Amino acid sequence: MKIAFAGKGGVGKTSLAAWTADWLARSGRNVWMVDADTALSLGQASGVSADALPEPLIRRADLVRERIHADGFLKLNPEVGDLPESLAVDVPLGGPVPDGVTAGRKRLLVMGAVTNAGGGCACDANALLKAVLANLIVDRDDWVIVDLEAGVEHLGRGTVAHVDGLIVVSEPSMRSLQTGAEVGRMASDLGLHRQVLALNRFRGGQVPELAGLPTSCVTIPQLDGLLDRQMQNASVLGLPESEAIDALVQDCLGKLAE
């Protein structure tokens, strides 16, 4: 299963992507984490130090030239099958593995943002991301977790066509929900109907009905353990609230599968 996390800026996309990937790996699934945002975030949220992160794929001018501009033309279906294996880094698990479970392997592929293509062209970044997503050959039980950049500008057929599910992350505010509704509507228009709304920092209350907002919803409370720690530590894993986070990740994936 390939799932993407989208929504307005700063709402918790990367955190939820990191929690989901970690729960899946601790439950025995192999996971590919794809950071399609301005580098560094998903890896650091998963406990990888900044200096251990690979160069974002989109800044690898050599590869872009070689794969995207082969023969002097922009190739819309570049050959990238070998890239995930050769460029991904292994990421350690962020919590305990239940007795009797063999943990899966968690790997991170840093793409870089599509709209802010590392000084390069957004169409190159898009072609590369689309090709990598299409070519990430996963076993039936493997998962791909894609952390998208904020907003809706990058949401095109390229990013959406190759994922099976979308988590629309939002804060409990009208502006954030409106962006979420726009993301949901665009994804639906592109044929991606399997969507769940993850309402982060939820404090109770009625969610407004906005056309496009996924009807299936999970809520995440404010996490004091994360607030207490985040000045010292970029990782969102291994929090005092980990059990509750694992439960809500399962709830979210269950709703996505419905």
Ligand X SMILES: Nc1ncnc2c1ncn2[C@@H]1O[C@H](COP(=O)(O)OP(=O)(O)OP(=O)(O)O)[C@@H](O)[C@H]1O
Q: Which residues bind Mg ion (CB under 5 A)?
A: 13-14, 37, 41
Among 3, 6, 11, 109, which residue sits at the site for ligand X (rule: CB under 6 A)? 11
Nearest distance in Å: CB 60, ligand X? 22
Contact stretch for ligand X (CB under 6 A) within 13-21, 27-35, 82-90, 113-121: 13-21
Q: Which is nearer to ligand X, 37 or 124 (CB)?
A: 37
Nearest distance in Å: CB 209, ligand X? 23
Q: Which is nearer to ligand X, 28 or 172 (CB)?
A: 172
Choose the one of ligand X, Mg ion, none that binds residue 223, judging by a C-beta under 5 to 8 angstroms depending on kind: ligand X
The Cβ of residue 190 has, within 10 Å, a number of other Cβ atoms equal to 16
Residues 168-227 touching ligand X, rule: CB under 6 A, are 200-201, 220, 222-223, 226-227
Residues that bind ligand X (CB under 6 A): 9-15, 37, 41, 150, 200-201, 220, 222-223, 226-227, 230, 236
